[in-house]
Amino acid sequence: MINYTNIKILHAIVLLLALIGFSATSHAQKKHFEHNLYIGLGGVTSTPFDDGSYAFRMGYGLNCHVSDHWSIMPGIGYRARFQIGDADPGVGAYDCSYIDVPVLVQYHLMNNPRKSGLVVELGPVFSFLTSNATHYNDADPGDALNDKDVYRPFDLGLQPGVYYQLGRHWRLGVQGHIGLLDVIKKYSSVNESYHNHDLSIVANFHF
């Protein structure tokens, strides 16, 4: 079930970020673009069916610096939750993966994006499921829920991040995903809800 309060909050945040970006653009003296490659590993909250898993993410963003302090970065990424030691990944393990499409606004505390300093970001992320898990009750191989998909095909969330820039090309920090939608697919015997939240340590190379 879609939580319309969360959708309204997301709309307000998107509008605020758009106004910030427009304001920054109107005051920009010089624009430049920057390619970003990132990879990260962390933890993800437990589902109703299992304990917490690991989170992995990697991706690319094209960062447009619209002023000395502000930039806008759309991108594309791969994000997965997994458990170490799964005998049969995707069956009874509740692993899944997404293709993420984030649209982020970044604020650079230093006035030169090539110098060291803090960077913070926030923006919406649209997530499309690329691999699903299936329910399996090994005590009852004839259970009607067996082999049914666990997750819905789409998620909508927010991506906050805080980084420290090290010189010209590297940033190290933490990046999160705050899921706004219930991603559990419902059946007659499944009424649980779950919002996908994770937090990862991330390394970013930009040029």
The pLDDT value recorded for residue 167 is: 82
Average pLDDT, the chain: 84
Over residues 99-123, mean pLDDT: 89
Lowest mean pLDDT among 23-27, 53-57, 95-99, 168-172: 23-27
> pLDDT for 80-98, tens place per residue?
998 876 545 444 568 899 9
The pLDDT value recorded for residue 206 is: 93
pTM of the model: 0.79
118: pLDDT strictly greater than 60: yes
Nearest one of 69, 139, 73, 132 to 105, comparing CA atoms: 73
Rounded percentage of the chain residues whose pLDDT exceeds 90: 55
185: pLDDT strictly greater than 60: yes
- Cα–Cα distance for residue pair 149/187, rounded to 1 Å: 10
- Phi, psi (rounded to 5 degrees) for 10: -60, -45
3: pLDDT strictly greater than 80: no
- Phi, psi (rounded to 5 degrees) for 57: -150, 150
> Taking the CB of residue 112, how many other CB atoms lie within 10 A of it?
11
Over residues 148-159, mean pLDDT: 95
Question: Residue 79's pLDDT band (boundaries 50, 70, 90)?
Answer: very high
> pLDDT for 41-58, tens place per residue?
999 988 777 766 899 999
Over residues 147-152, mean pLDDT: 92
- Cα–Cα distance for residue pair 116/129, rounded to 1 Å: 36
Residue with tokens 């067996």: 146
Q: Which residue has the higher pLDDT, 112 or 121?
A: 121
The pLDDT value recorded for residue 136 is: 78
